[in-house]
Amino acid sequence: MTDWLVFQSADIAASRVLQHAPTRMAPFDFPFISDWVNRSHHYGWPYVFKLYWFWKGSLTQSPSNSSPKERSGVTTRYWDCCKPSCAWSGKAAVSSPVRTCNSQQQVISDANTKSGCDGGTAFTCANNQPWAVSNTLAYGFAAVKLSGYTESQWCCQCYQLTFTSGPASGKVMIVQATNTGGDLGSNHFDILMPGGGVGLFNGCTAQYGSWNGGAQYGGVSSKSQCANLPSIVQSGCNWRFDWFSGSDNPSVNWKAVQCPSALTSISGCTRNSQAGGAPGTGGSTGGGGTTSTSRSSGGGGGSGAPLYVTDEDDIGQCGGTGWYSF
């Protein structure tokens, strides 16, 4: 009877301490508890209470709500004009699929419209190109593939990338995942930037009538070549050589963050439950390029992507040095 009262007291105390923590029920481990009862005869009830409290605490902590930790990753670049994966319905629990645009940059309302890379009329909107918010902070969109996660978890989630190599080292970019790369490696962010290379599929000719975007993988090799692209996407191409300082597939440290409204207003997609904390504001590293906290979300832009790599239009592309090595 004494042992029972001890554990009743321990359970009540532990529950009160942890009542505000996210809970995840687990089966009651009677053999384990019985062992604690036996130990109580030798060590006393305070020892048992302490062990029980930590055991219950370990069961009630929710991994999805833990503090975000940075992980290392790699980046590449692409701009294939295809309908992004997260633009299809049913990919994740979101407000609506990522927006797509037709060849006149008008937003398409039907999420089931066929991709322009598969003979349809849905393309990546021009306003999915990256832009500088400040000398040390930029916003944009990306195709991703993350170890231990699935498309339903990363579709329309935002991530903070801190570049750790190359001329952009120390700068920060917040990207919203709008596509899934079937040809990407682990913890890989394929950043959308015009003139970044079309990769396996080229929907740009169908969308713009002609496309002179440089090499299939890697795209243009100088800022002057950005002038060969349609005028509506030249600013995103220039961004690569201005704010991004011509970086070629830099490594990153990344973590999930809440999406800035400047990104979700373009993509039209917000997760019902976002992971991570508030996004950073960049460091003190110098930089360049026009800065702005927002970009138009109307015609001439659109957004990102969801998942299910089952069709060619669902596969993100990558380019730049080492694109094939991951």
Catalytic residue numbers, as ranges:
80, 190
- Quote the tokens at residue 79: 């701009």
Angle, to 10 degrees, between the axis of helix 30-43 and the axis of helix 45-60? 150
CA separation for the pair 200, 98 (Å, rounded): 21
Name 132's bridge partners: 138, 291
- Quote the tokens at residue 193: 């930037």
| E strand or H helix at 108 | strand 107-108
Please check whether residue 43 is in contact with residue 3, taking contact to mean a CB–CB distance below 8 angstroms. no
Please check whether residue 188 is in contact with residue 181, taking contact to mean a CB–CB distance below 8 angstroms. yes
**Nearest 10 degrees: CA dihedral of 72, 170, 155, 78?**
-100
Name 188's bridge partners: 74, 145
Q: Please report where in the chains the tokens 């070629």 appear, as a residue.
A: 248
3-state secondary structure of 142: strand
